[in-house]
Structure formats: structure tokens, C-alpha cells
Chain A
Amino acid sequence: MSSSAMEADTSDLVCQLDNVQGIVDALSTVRWKRHQDAVVELSEHGIVLIVEETGCLQAKVYLQKELFIRYEYTAQGRPRFGLSLGLFVDCLNTFSVPGHSSTIEIRYPGPDMQLLIKSADSLDDCIYAEIRTRIPETISWDYNFEPAGSTPLSFTVKSAALKEAIDDLEWPGSSIQIILKPVPPSVTFRGEGHGDLQIDFMYYANTDLLIAFHCEHQVSYRYYSIVFNLLYQRQHSCTIKSCILFFHKHVDRYKYKFLRATTSNIPSSVTKDNRGSKLTIGRGGMLKVQHLVSVARPSTSHQHIDSAGYQQPSRIAYIEFFVKPEEDEDTVND
């Protein structure tokens, strides 16, 4: 029933990739809990995997077709299917052999709408998997991200430093603010809960940590530079409250656990690569966190170094998190 010749005729997608570990790393980044349903969308540009958490947090993994050594897409429209992210990652992980570049083939759909994966390295040894897919649930909330104004409000921090800062903020717990000051340019993470903890990234003092910074907000320039608040606990200090009322800004509340989800599963390969993670604050206080995960072929197998001899720049998987602010009763709709 599963003769490969037959499947080729009916598959929407047949693709091959030679760095399974890179894809496992990319997908693991958005795996913030054990049981997670994901929606996968296929297109001529690549594969997008979307996971979300009850209308508060959404993450997308973009696997562009350039990451694959073969990408044959023949479907009309954009096929979508649902599957368990944990199972998908655990399954892909079995195809990854440490210190060994393994090539796999992914095919969709199988005879029973399964996602089919098989190793394509050797004729005598074969690993194969069939993952049952589901009809995808509709995405409950549209995460259209729009810039807050004419100039973007964003900064880029080394991924490892961002992860460390957010991990440290676990101690004060629930109430987290991100404060951007244009003069002097700096980003402050402030946690208020069981105690206070403030982590400052000064742009000029820590150029190795805070790589880029865009904040030209007039309001923030005039008064304490509080542009953006991540507040979870109801009890915030009077100063902050008054300043918020003064500017009629949104008091954007985020749960620490959602902020943490954006960095908690960054694979060690990303922190080792020491790339930057970009944080952008959009309209309505929506926070976008972007990470880059290398899906380059591991250079450990020295026998076959590419003629180029360096990491292929296009072989990067893009990860985006969207964290929605919580509604707040203090908000004055402007």
C-alpha cells in the first residue's frame, strides 16, 4: 500500500532535509508545555507551524523551503493540518543521530492523511514514522501585528542574555515591566511581585548585549520614559499608576509565564550561536519576540565540507512569538 511510486502521485509535499537536529531545535523553541496542539500550513514558500495558548500567546516557526535540500510542492491552495507538537518533536528527534548528519524525507499526506517521515540515508537501515494528523482547529485569535507608530519600537538583545534576564525575573514573579528610555538609550526589565528586581541593558555600556535599539517616543522622552508596561499584579505603585493615567496609555498586562515561554525553550545551539533576539512592541502593546535558529548542516562531518566552507546564511529558521497584553480595567480607550 505504501509503495513510494504510488505516494509520489498524491502527495502535496515531498521534502528532504539534511539537518534534523536544526529543525528539532527550531520546533522545540515553541514547545513550552508537554501537550500542545500545533497547526501546520504548507505552501510553495515553505512550512509554517503555529501553536497558541488560549488567546494570549502565539508562536510561529517558519521553515522556508531554502532550509530543505529538496522541496516539491504540488498542492492547490494551502493545505493545513493539526498534530501534536510534542509527538512531532519527539519523533523527529529519533531521526537525529548525534555527530552524524542524517537526511530525512517528509511527505504529506499519506494514504490516511498521515504525515510520513523516513530516513533517506541508507538502503539497508531505515527509520520511518507515520504521524496521525487532525483537521486543524481554527486559530482563535488573529495576531495581526502592526507597528505602534511611524517608527518601530524595538530592541535586539543577545538571545542568551534575554533568556537569562527573563529566567531571573521568575523570582519576583508575576509583575513584569519592560521600560524603554531613549536618553540614555536603555531597556529595563522590572519585576514586581514577591520582591522587586530590575535588570538594565544600557545601549552604550552593553553594546555586546543590547545590539540594536529604536525608541524615539516623544511621550517617553518627556516623562520617566515609561513607554511600555508589563504589569501582571493589580497592585502597582502609585507613581507608575499616576504616570499611566497621565498619558492615557494602555496598561498592558502580561503573564510572566507567557513572557517566559518566549525564551524558556531556546535550544542551547541558539545561545551558543549568540545571535540576537528582537523584541518589538506593536499597536495595543502586543509584544513580538523573534529568534533565529540555525538549520545549517552540522559541520562536524569534516569529510564533506561544502565548497563554500561556511554556514549557509539562508539556512535559518525564524521563530516568532506574539504576546498579547491582558485587558485592564484602568485602560482608558483612546
Chain B
Amino acid sequence: MKFKAFVTENGVSLLDRRFLPALDKMGKICHLFLTREHAFFLHNLLTSPDGIQSIAQFRKQALFDDYRISSQNEDRIAFAFDISLLLRAVRSSVSIISSESGGANRLQVKLVKKLPPNSTQPMPFLTFETKGYKSAVIQDVPISKPLSRAQLLQLQAALDAAQDLPRTLVQVPDLNRLQNFVDRMKHVGDLLNVSISKYGDLHLQISTTLITLGAEFRKLLVVGDKAQAPDEDRDLSAQTRSERAILMGDAQSVQVSVRHFSKSLQCHLAKPDCAFYGIAPQGACLTVIFQFFIPGTRQTDKSISLHCRLPVLDPGSS
């Protein structure tokens, strides 16, 4: 089992300034799943079905060059690690690279087994090595034992299952504003009803015995199944409108945890260009897909993808 690569400048900036800070908010422990072509950062795919799942996928060229991987599991390697430790290692490597002039520094990452101090058992590490003219700095990030073949297959199956797309996706207009709203909403209740219609309506509502608090965003861009909103909808209240759309089969509604919803919005730290919310078939989960453009264009950057799946607390109506 071998893995060795150089992290490109673009890769360092993607990880350091965007993805690792965002993924750090998703949860402390993350799986890194490396294949011949891709690197995945995965949250909660194997461990906790009650937690928010996040899947960040990079084509190897987006992060690395001189990428070498080999294993007995069709050149696939996966292990768990503490994301904050990885972030620290990357951050300090960045500072070393930028402080040494000349630009000859490259950041190499490799999988090693080392004997930690005061231990007789060699342990696996992900090692970051920065070599300059004058010095070399090595940082070891402790990782879990690489997953066994069975676990790896399980992870692959979970990953495949997590790729199903909702039939209707609506584009969220302003992530920061939505985040700001949801963060304040958190004080009012724990359960959030989310309904998404083919008309392009996103309706969020917290309802307790003492208060009902909701927000409705209308006329959003719809990707997938769409429909024309009935004219008589115009003068109705947000609640009535979404109830009617659900009855007519033009909308779906699920209940998720406000905390999870707010966490999913933390992905804006990865600086996506836009975000879409959708409800998976049979109300299996609430999916949020972040889209990244090739810098300077409006074209999707297919080498990077990020999406989250929020567990549904109540199947709701479909």
C-alpha cells in the first residue's frame, strides 16, 4: 500500500483556505478515500447514520501532481483522520513555503508507517514534507489504520448510494443571508420543516407550541422537474401555498434538524459559486449541492464537487 504525491499550489490553496475550514465544521473526524483518479473527503458515510453526510470530491489533478497510488484493493486507500490536525499541518506548510523565497519548495504528502516515541508499535501517518534550499520540515498527521477490504467496499457502496440526485433542485439565492437567518432561527426551535416545490419555492419553518417562524424564498431557479405555479397561489400565505403544492404533488417536505441545516450552510466557507437544495426521492434526505465554476467563467468546474446529505427526522409527506 503506497501513496505519494505533491500538492499543487492550487491544491494547497483549495485545501487551506476553502475546503478544510468548511469540512472542519462538518465534524472532527473525516475519511480520506483515495482512488486512481479521485480523492474524496467523506463525513459520516460509515460511522454515524444520524449525522450530516458530506462528500467532497476532487479529481487528482485538482489537488496533486506526480500522484502515485497502489494497493491490493484496486489501488484504493481510505483512512480516517482528525481534520483539524490536517488543517494545521497544511497551514504551517503553507507558511514555510511562503516564507522561503525562491519558489523551489514543494509540498509532498505521503503515507508512512512510523514508530512513534514511547511506543513499540509502528503507527500510520500522513506525512507532509516541505523541502527548501536551507531546510526541510516534516509534519506527521496521525491517521487511523487504513480500512480493510471489507470496510473499503462498504465505504464505496455508501458513496455510490450517496450520489442519487433529487428530482427537483432549487438554487439558493444568497447563502450568507440564509445562514444568518438560520443561525438566528436556531434560538427559536430545533426542528426545521423544509419544503421545496417544482415552482421554485423554498419554504423553511420552525413550529413549536409557542411560535411558528418561517421563511419563504420564491421564484428560485429550478433544476430538474419544474412546474408552473398556479395563479391563485399569489395571494395566499406561505404556509397555505406550500400545503397546497404538497397536496398537488408539486412539492415535497421533510423535517431536519436546524443544527444540521445550519452546518450544511457552513460549506459556504469552501466558497462555492452557487448552492442547490433538493429532497431525495421518497424523502430519504435533504440534499444540498454546491457548485464551483472554473475561475473567471460560468462553467462548472467538474474537477471539484461538494454535497451534503441531511438526515430526515420525520419522513414527512412526499
Task: State whether these chains interact.
Answer: yes
**A87 interface residue, CB < 8 Å from B?**
yes
Q: Taking each of A84, A129, A132, which has the highest tally of chain B beta carbons within 10 Å of its own beta carbon? A: A129
* Chain A at the B interface: SS class: mixed
Show 29 residue pairs from A and B whose CB-CB distance is below 8 angstroms, ordered by the A residue.
A1-B240, A2-B237, A2-B240, A4-B235, A84-B210, A87-B211, A90-B184, A90-B187, A93-B184, A93-B187, A94-B181, A94-B213, A97-B177, A98-B180, A124-B217, A124-B218, A125-B216, A125-B218, A126-B218, A126-B238, A127-B214, A127-B216, A128-B212, A128-B213, A128-B215, A128-B238, A129-B212, A130-B211, A132-B209
Interface residues of A in 57-96 (CB under 8 A from B): 84, 87, 90-91, 93-94, 96
**A144 interface residue, CB < 8 Å from B?**
no
Which residues of chain A have C-beta atoms less than 8 A from B244's C-beta? none
With CB as the reference atom, state the residue of chain A lying closest to B217. Answer: A125
Q: Once the chains bind, are B219 and A126 in contact (CB under 8 Å)?
A: no
Q: Once the chains bind, are B218 and A131 in contact (CB under 8 Å)?
A: no
Q: Once the chains bind, are A128 and B187 in contact (CB under 8 Å)?
A: no
- On B, residues with C-beta under 8 Å from A are 173, 177, 180-181, 184-185, 187-188, 209-219, 235-240
What's the minimum C-beta distance from B123 to chain A, rounded to whole angstroms? 46
Which residues of chain B have C-beta atoms less than 8 A from A127's C-beta? 181, 213-216
Bound-state Cα–Cα, A93 to B213, Å: 11
Interface residues of A in 103-151 (CB under 8 A from B): 123-132
Interchain pairs with CB closer than 8 A, number: 67
- The contact of B211 among A4, A93, A97, A131, by CB within 8 Å, is A131
Which residues of chain B have C-beta atoms less than 8 A from A1's C-beta? 237, 240
Which residues of chain A have C-beta atoms less than 8 A from B212's C-beta? 128-130
What's the minimum C-beta distance from B232 to chain A, rounded to whole angstroms? 11
Q: A91-B188, A94-B181, A98-B180 are in contact. Are A125 and B210 (CB under 8 A)?
A: no
**A3 interface residue, CB < 8 Å from B?**
yes
Which residues of chain A have C-beta atoms less than 8 A from B188's C-beta? 87, 90-91, 94
Q: Once the chains bind, are B214 and A91 in contact (CB under 8 Å)?
A: no
Bound-state Cα–Cα, A123 to B212, Å: 20
Q: Once the chains bind, are B211 and A128 in contact (CB under 8 Å)?
A: no
